[in-house]
Chains A and B, each alone.
Chain A
């Protein structure tokens, strides 16, 4: 072992480097779509297994077509005896009972002549009829709507995306508004710029907007259109009709609807689902926009979706298909399951609602949960999660020898009452609240830290905690929550910070334009900023102190309109702030309402994430339609419980920690190995930087000391990152707290981490320190076996197996210097994943 450790820098370095290179290349995500990006998915389509349905249904059951390009997507569902529902759209036959009135292309009905017809739909020996009315004049040629057809086509083909012409500076001199959010500007760009070459009514097919995406002319963005296909035809017809603009005159779209709605479970062999999208307009009309909508899947591993709205499942799991038409975004959640050989459910009754929801999902997806972890694993895990540090060998032995069935619950209670719990969870809040000397000053950081720690220690209800931060005024020294606004540069930053922390929403994109992937619009953004625009700050006579106050009447100017933005809250709409004192109070009141769909969910998800290494929504601060929870009922139940218990964080912690879900083993079995997100087992995760440093110090009995804090302060209890001038912490991803994003804390493993563990100065100096745990034991003549036992207890919360003990004893005995040999044994212990990971 010693030889291995000392030679590492020569041979192992090269090997590790090469391995890391190989891994980094192999882990690059494979693109879901071809370079041309036109219409073909990269995966194969399997045939639909129709079987023998009890009945079939077609949606919509009755169709009215009012225009030549207003074809309708039909969706055929088969209902089976066992309650299963399958999408049979791809397998069904569609035959009009009268020829010449409509044409069915695939599963889409297109008008040919005015009149009424029934389309006979057959599948699996079943038959049903869809009544189709082609309204008079519907097939007369009329120009495509710029607003409802041309712009969606450009958006669907990706022309107005942020990577292409929708970027702030456009591409190749051609700049469209992002996702067609500014139609008036796009008219000018398409029709008037380039002396009409982009859209040439005199010779429509020579227009650049047709020739470039079809690659008739070089196009850096590759092929986006094919001559003659629907989108090409829309653009061509619009140009040929002299580019009519209906931005001001057309009825407004007021929303989109998707069929089937969320919740459909597709069980293999059923593995695909055709979607239909309908837009509603303010004149009361509706039309099928499936061919114009943009579809994306939140989890391509579970299911992909074609440009025509066909969702194809690949694996067990859930996905959200996000559908975008104009500025409207809706999601539909689909679950894909399959039978698993040898799957059998034999779990006892759930401990609490956490287990009930998790196990219901596992049963549905056919994952068998792992057994409960050992007492040693639980003892180690719960210490790391609640107080951040490893337990000492004596308390571990005491716990292991305790035979009481309630010992785990008692341990949870004891740890939650310990001061170390508040210190460790303050570290997590410190990350979120940008608690650093650079952000809030040296003294300010200490006072802010103390306030958070007291709030955690006293289990301040989360709504009060949020209210205190969001409405804080006064001296940043006398009223430390006021530092919340000290860390924000301006009202925009204050709103973005608040949205990310308390709404779990990354709303920054909507600052410059409507959010390209979410519902947030630019109006929403500035409407929310209005609640923070009154915040003012100034320096005081005391170095490092700031005074925060509000000056009601300060308005947020919408950069697009130049007018004051209307205060707006999600779910409530425009808010009248006239006469309100501090507008932040209105925001905070709304935020902490029990009905708020974000507030409680975001916090319970954050707590869950801290305990499991991943959130029910992951990342935990990125709630959005396109990032659905992996177990929505569980999230809802936790949030409901949180609200009902007065936003009591310790109650939620206790509830989760007591669940079987939390206490499951991290060992994967054949029936849950594939599960990485449904909590059928505990997912091991690397110790955080601070935990790692403390753990190394703990195992060796040599804790790191830090300046300007009380002597026994651990790395997990540091108020600010600046106090630790430790390369070890940097390498393992200690955040500098520059942003509120959880992503600033690096959790991935890296080559420098390996080097640090192999030969780093921190490890090396502690291993060779004569005062460390095992050198001291040798010096006082402790029995070698006992020393090794204590080493294992300190590192893993278990005694070594007979084999491990024998190997270590043999190695030490073969070495003329027992102390040096123990260094090697300890080095090996520290480099095991069992030590490096929380499991």
Chain B
């Protein structure tokens, strides 16, 4: 035979299901859990049902989930009903109010995160109608969860006593909901008494408080500004309306005194906090009136940086005041007391030193759009931050000369006031941050997972070594390196043949570089999770530092054997793929890896529908690298509803040789 044949055996042993895709959860009822309680929470979503177990619920704080029931989604004439899964969750008494992320894992993958809140208000589900006449009667304090109707609003009836104060706030954006909620307080004849939309602290979500002169009945309307459908959580109670904290942050392991800003700040005494050592970058703080039943939720930034709290008097651009000298690294905490207020800081750096200045304001509830100006000792502007299309910008500057430099802090709009608090975290030294391009993957036995990692460099241009923590006997990696001057690399995770199915694993991706004689270690985080938490008002960087891996059965498998190849000739390849009954029939892409130089695969590299046979041809050039190549492998990539599953063949041995001389 002139051509040789590579044969493939078909091996597949997976358990099937009709769903076969990563689950999606869009709603939790209730979405808030009081501390010290056990609550049954039902998650609504798609792409899961009773046959898709085992189920697992991951949460960013311990919730001791216990599965109670699963109901599959039903397609009906009038639209489909969402699938439901109910867990019993237990929140410890000590749990701090704030945001919690949860993910649902099924046999087919892991969901995107969903936000829950730990909140001290009792929770009820909205049964409100879309007219005043069909309003739902509620009694404060209460948290009401529901959805806004398309082209309509939800109405709630509250009864108040004379002199009673009520605070009302709505969560929409902070829940990750698409709505931009509006609150209206209406009299019984439908007259608008209060209309609020947007909040300087919380963005789309809004709130109000009102002290009622007379007893009576009032209506609260919740709707989206565009009359869209979406989740909301309505809080009605005696909680204070707090804007932000001052200072905005505290040092880990040290006692700090914080005060509140906002209309009710005067009635809230300052409080001491002692952030414990932790990877968390945010500490939830509850603000409650003395004797109050409900708390306002607020976040305090915590870090190991030495704390500096601004103490200079008000200054202005025209008359620069005395700058506060600070030692680096540090976290500056200040307040722009009045319109036009400018805070100046002076610090020393060595020649060639790179310093990063991280602005923190809006993400922590401050009103201020922070604007930084970096000046040299002569007042010459070196760099600014705050005008780019990002929130909480990071300014990075390399100082060419040693000496004193000024950091000038003001509001971009030159505003000021008690809510105009800020924090600037200043860290000298070159470094980098890492971002996970994706943070959830499917893994199959003998498969591979590619994790894209991006670097944002801060004065360091050298290579960055990537590694993984949380490896197991079933999961290995050779690591990866982001080359010098580059900002991207892909980390490959390889799965063992005997990888247990339906296991949820989380790993961390670490970056390491030796920079100026120091070890620099960074954990990669998910920008998506960071954004979700930022919108929720609890921007904890540590929560997004995990990669989620769910082991699943692949709908196909292969086994390929090596053979000899001859220079200047081609070898026909026939690959058989067995597709498992009861599983989807995704298109399978075939890729060769580590082929010897001069050998190329030709032919259709795709198997569609029911096809189980693929004919390829390996073209061997006359200059192909001779010898034994034993690291060649074939990879099948299957897309399961948007999630990629890859499996690899065992390494093949391909020997490339010269053609034999034919005897004349």
CA of A708 to CA of B227 in the docked complex: distance in angstroms? Answer: 5
Cβ–Cβ contact A442 & B413, under 8 A: no
- Interface membership of B198, Cβ < 8 A: yes
- Interface membership of B608, Cβ < 8 A: no
CA of A450 to CA of B180 in the docked complex: distance in angstroms? Answer: 14
Cβ contacts A467-487/B at 8 Å (1 or 0 each): 000000111011000000000
Cβ contacts A431-475/B at 8 Å (1 or 0 each): 000000000001100110010000000000000000000000111
**Using a CB-CB cutoff of 8 Å, which residues 394-448 of chain B contact chain A?**
412-414
- Interface membership of B122, Cβ < 8 A: no
Residues of chain B within 8 A of A477, CB atoms compared: 197-198, 203-204
- Interface membership of B217, Cβ < 8 A: no
- Interface membership of A547, Cβ < 8 A: yes
Cβ–Cβ contact B198 & A709, under 8 A: no
Cβ–Cβ contact B197 & A547, under 8 A: no
Cβ–Cβ contact B226 & A708, under 8 A: yes
Residues of chain A within 8 A of B389, CB atoms compared: 538-540
Cβ–Cβ contact A473 & B225, under 8 A: no
Residues of chain A within 8 A of B151, CB atoms compared: 707-711
- Interface membership of A536, Cβ < 8 A: yes
CA of A442 to CA of B225 in the docked complex: distance in angstroms? Answer: 9
> Contacts A541-B391, A542-B204, A547-B412 known; A708 to B228 CB distance under 8 Å?
yes
Distance in Å from the Cβ of A203 to the closest Cβ of chain B? Answer: 64
> Contacts A538-B389, A547-B369, A708-B151 known; A478 to B228 CB distance under 8 Å?
no
CA of A450 to CA of B192 in the docked complex: distance in angstroms? Answer: 13
> Contacts A473-B413, A536-B387, A538-B388 known; A478 to B227 CB distance under 8 Å?
no
Residues of chain A within 8 A of B531, CB atoms compared: 541
Closest to A542 in B: B203
Residues of chain A within 8 A of B197, CB atoms compared: 447, 450, 477
Residues of chain B within 8 A of A473, CB atoms compared: 413
Residues of chain A within 8 A of B203, CB atoms compared: 477, 541-542
- Interface membership of A590, Cβ < 8 A: no
Closest to A474 in B: B413
CA of A539 to CA of B389 in the docked complex: distance in angstroms? Answer: 5
- Interface membership of B390, Cβ < 8 A: yes
- Interface membership of B11, Cβ < 8 A: no
- Interface membership of B335, Cβ < 8 A: no
Residues of chain A within 8 A of B153, CB atoms compared: 710
- Interface membership of A429, Cβ < 8 A: no
Residues of chain A within 8 A of B204, CB atoms compared: 477, 542
Closest to A579 in B: B318
CA of A627 to CA of B77 in the docked complex: distance in angstroms? Answer: 64
CA of A707 to CA of B228 in the docked complex: distance in angstroms? Answer: 10
- Interface membership of B362, Cβ < 8 A: yes
| Chain A interface residues toward B at CB < 8 A | 442-443, 446-447, 450, 473-475, 477-478, 536, 538-542, 547, 549, 581, 707-711
CA of A474 to CA of B198 in the docked complex: distance in angstroms? Answer: 13
CA of A285 to CA of B401 in the docked complex: distance in angstroms? Answer: 65
Cβ contacts B531-561/A at 8 Å (1 or 0 each): 1001100000000000000000000000000
Majority DSSP secondary structure for residues of B touching A: loop
Residues of chain A within 8 A of B199, CB atoms compared: 478
Residues of chain B within 8 A of A443, CB atoms compared: 180, 225-226
Closest to A549 in B: B413
CA of A442 to CA of B224 in the docked complex: distance in angstroms? Answer: 12
CA of A202 to CA of B370 in the docked complex: distance in angstroms? Answer: 72
- Interface membership of B611, Cβ < 8 A: no
Closest to B369 in A: A547
Residues of chain B within 8 A of A475, CB atoms compared: 198
Q: List 8 A-B contacts (CB under 8 A).
A: A442-B226, A443-B180, A477-B198, A477-B203, A538-B387, A541-B203, A708-B151, A708-B226
> Contacts A536-B387, A541-B391, A709-B151 known; A447 to B413 CB distance under 8 Å?
no
CA of A475 to CA of B153 in the docked complex: distance in angstroms? Answer: 25
CA of A477 to CA of B200 in the docked complex: distance in angstroms? Answer: 10
Residues of chain A within 8 A of B414, CB atoms compared: 581
CA of A538 to CA of B198 in the docked complex: distance in angstroms? Answer: 19
Cβ–Cβ contact A478 & B226, under 8 A: no
Distance in Å from the Cβ of A506 to the closest Cβ of chain B? Answer: 32
Cβ–Cβ contact B362 & A446, under 8 A: no
Give the B interface residue count (CB, 8 A): 29
CA of A442 to CA of B180 in the docked complex: distance in angstroms? Answer: 11
Residues of chain A within 8 A of B412, CB atoms compared: 547, 549
Closest to A478 in B: B198
Residues of chain B within 8 A of A707, CB atoms compared: 151, 227
Closest to B391 in A: A541
Closest to B199 in A: A478
Cβ–Cβ contact A541 & B198, under 8 A: no
Distance in Å from the Cβ of B595 to the closest Cβ of chain A? Answer: 45
**Using a CB-CB cutoff of 8 Å, which residues 190-204 of chain B contact chain A?**
195, 197-200, 203-204
Distance in Å from the Cβ of B150 to the closest Cβ of chain A? Answer: 8
CA of A538 to CA of B180 in the docked complex: distance in angstroms? Answer: 20
Distance in Å from the Cβ of B416 to the closest Cβ of chain A? Answer: 13
Closest to A541 in B: B391
CA of A8 to CA of B110 in the docked complex: distance in angstroms? Answer: 64
Residues of chain A within 8 A of B225, CB atoms compared: 443, 446-447
Closest to B339 in A: A581
> Contacts A709-B151, A711-B151 known; A540 to B391 CB distance under 8 Å?
yes
Residues of chain B within 8 A of A450, CB atoms compared: 195, 197
Which 8 A-B residue pairs are closest in the complex by CB-CB distance? Answer: A539-B389, A541-B391, A708-B227, A549-B413, A446-B225, A477-B198, A443-B180, A473-B413
Closest to A540 in B: B391
CA of A536 to CA of B388 in the docked complex: distance in angstroms? Answer: 11
Closest to A581 in B: B414
Closest to B192 in A: A419
CA of A811 to CA of B534 in the docked complex: distance in angstroms? Answer: 70
Cβ contacts B213-227/A at 8 Å (1 or 0 each): 000000000000111
Closest to A538 in B: B389
Residues of chain B within 8 A of A478, CB atoms compared: 198-200
CA of A536 to CA of B386 in the docked complex: distance in angstroms? Answer: 12
Closest to A437 in B: B226
CA of A709 to CA of B534 in the docked complex: distance in angstroms? Answer: 30
Closest to B386 in A: A538
Additional pairs, 9, CB under 8 Å, beyond known A450-B195, A474-B413: A443-B180, A450-B197, A473-B413, A541-B391, A542-B203, A549-B369, A708-B226, A708-B227, A708-B228
Cβ–Cβ contact B413 & A541, under 8 A: no
Among A581, A707, A708: residue with most chain B CB under 10 A: A708
Distance in Å from the Cβ of A157 to the closest Cβ of chain B? Answer: 53
CA of A708 to CA of B230 in the docked complex: distance in angstroms? Answer: 13
Distance in Å from the Cβ of A554 to the closest Cβ of chain B? Answer: 12
Residues of chain B within 8 A of A446, CB atoms compared: 225-226
Distance in Å from the Cβ of B369 to the closest Cβ of chain A? Answer: 6
Distance in Å from the Cβ of A20 to the closest Cβ of chain B? Answer: 40
Cβ–Cβ contact A541 & B390, under 8 A: yes
Cβ contacts B175-200/A at 8 Å (1 or 0 each): 00000100000000000000101111
Closest to B225 in A: A446
Distance in Å from the Cβ of B360 to the closest Cβ of chain A? Answer: 13
Closest to A450 in B: B197
> Contacts A478-B200, A549-B413 known; A541 to B534 CB distance under 8 Å?
yes
Cβ contacts B497-511/A at 8 Å (1 or 0 each): 000000000000000
Residues of chain B within 8 A of A581, CB atoms compared: 414
Residues of chain B within 8 A of A549, CB atoms compared: 369, 412-413
Among B153, B369, B413: residue with most chain A CB under 10 A: B413
**Using a CB-CB cutoff of 8 Å, which residues 346-404 of chain B contact chain A?**
362, 369, 387-391
CA of A541 to CA of B539 in the docked complex: distance in angstroms? Answer: 14
Residues of chain A within 8 A of B413, CB atoms compared: 473-474, 547, 549
CA of A660 to CA of B268 in the docked complex: distance in angstroms? Answer: 63
Cβ–Cβ contact B227 & A710, under 8 A: yes
Distance in Å from the Cβ of A460 to the closest Cβ of chain B? Answer: 16
Closest to A547 in B: B369
CA of A581 to CA of B180 in the docked complex: distance in angstroms? Answer: 34
Cβ–Cβ contact A541 & B362, under 8 A: yes
Residues of chain A within 8 A of B152, CB atoms compared: 710-711
